[in-house]
């Protein structure tokens, strides 16, 4: 077994760093390599003139400022360097909801963490929004790739303009498309707002009640997420939703999360 890479992602202020520290201290037997990837446009430090800029934080992370359109090069380069130093090591990557980061590497394990929501509208589109987004995606190549992969726009190589081809599907064709495997895949993904797109493909989804607290809305979101992932990938029984306070060691649901990470989804060097 070689280098194993896990990704912890989610919106800002969701508790990603806290969760990674807990995994490091309570799941891993030996110290993992910790990477925090920061988009250049969100950093106070300029990344101009270089592919990446790294610096050490006081939490043991190697902070890497990256250009989103080059993360497909940046992240593998960093992992290659770590692999040369620690052939059988474990890397935990912290990132935000940048779709380029989600697609930049074939991670071994992915965790999506979010604050406990106050209403479902924070996570999901309304029925009218879903209908419009689905129609736009099926009639628009750029919108389709954006909803599936997060890629925005299709640039014309001759003019340099971003174009959006529109075949203008009829209502009958739209209904047939919705019933197809591809249509069902799109329909499951399109329910989530852009910042929550990554949770569909994550192995574990954590609703952090330590940020946002417990509420009926959080329970409703958890129930809807469980239904969504079951419908999206019914054969993947290992994809789970955990509603817990990641900083409360007495929260039984937190204990279940760590137990699952340790046993059913073991990280390298885990107990």
Model confidence, pTM: 0.79
Per-range mean pLDDT, top range of 7-16, 40-49, 120-129, 191-200: 7-16
Least confident of 1-10, 102-111, 115-124, 151-160: 151-160
Reported as a pLDDT band with limits 50, 70 and 90, residue 45 is: low
Round to whole Å and give the CA distance between 90 and 130.
39
Structural domains for the chain? 4-122+192-264 (3.40.50.300), 127-189 (no CATH)
Contact 200, 232 (CB under 8 A): yes
Residues 36/94, Cβ–Cβ less than 8 Å: yes
Given a cut of 80, whether residue 21 has pLDDT beyond it is yes
Task: Give the pLDDT confidence score for residue 130 in this predicted structure.
Answer: 80
Per-residue model confidence as pLDDT tens digits over 207-231: 999 987 777 888 888 888 888 887 7
Q: Phi, psi at residue 254, to the nearest 5°?
A: -65, -45
pLDDT at 48 over 50: no
Give the per-residue pLDDT at 271. 46
Q: Which residue has the higher pLDDT, 83 or 264?
A: 83
The reported pLDDT for the residue numbered 194 is 85
């Amino acid at each position: 077994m070689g280098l194993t890479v896990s990704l912890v992602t989610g919106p800002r202020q969701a508790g990603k760093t806290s969760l990674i520290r807990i995994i490091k201290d309570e799941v891993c037997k030996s110290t993992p390599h910790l990477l925090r990837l920061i988009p250049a446009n969100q950093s106070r430090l300029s990344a101009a003139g270089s592919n990446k800029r790294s610096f050490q934080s006081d939490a043991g992370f190697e902070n890497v400022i990256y250009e989103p359109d080059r993360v497909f090069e940046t992240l593998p380069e960093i992992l290659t360097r770590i692999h040369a130093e620690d052939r059988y090591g474990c890397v935990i990557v912290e990132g935000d909801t940048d779709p380029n980061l989600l697609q930049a590497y074939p991670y071994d394990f992915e965790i999506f963490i979010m604050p406990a929501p106050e209403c479902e509208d924070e996570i999901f589109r309304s029925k009218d929004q879903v209908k419009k987004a689905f129609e736009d995606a099926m009639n628009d190549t750029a919108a389709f790739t954006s909803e599936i992969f997060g890629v925005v726009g299709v640039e014309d190589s001759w003019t340099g303009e971003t174009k959006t081809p529109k075949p203008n599907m009829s209502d009958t064709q739209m209904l047939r498309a919705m019933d197809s495997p591809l249509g069902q895949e799109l329909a499951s993904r399109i329910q989530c707002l852009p910042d929550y797109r990554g949770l569909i493909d994550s192995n574990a989804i954590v609703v952090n009640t330590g940020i946002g607290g417990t509420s009926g809305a959080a329970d409703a979101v958890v129930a809807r997420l469980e239904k969504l992932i079951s419908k999206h990938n019914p054969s993947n029984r290992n994809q789970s939703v955990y509603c817990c306070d990641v900083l409360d060691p007495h929260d039984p649901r937190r204990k279940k999360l760590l137990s699952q990470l340790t046993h059913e989804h073991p990280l390298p060097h885990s107990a």
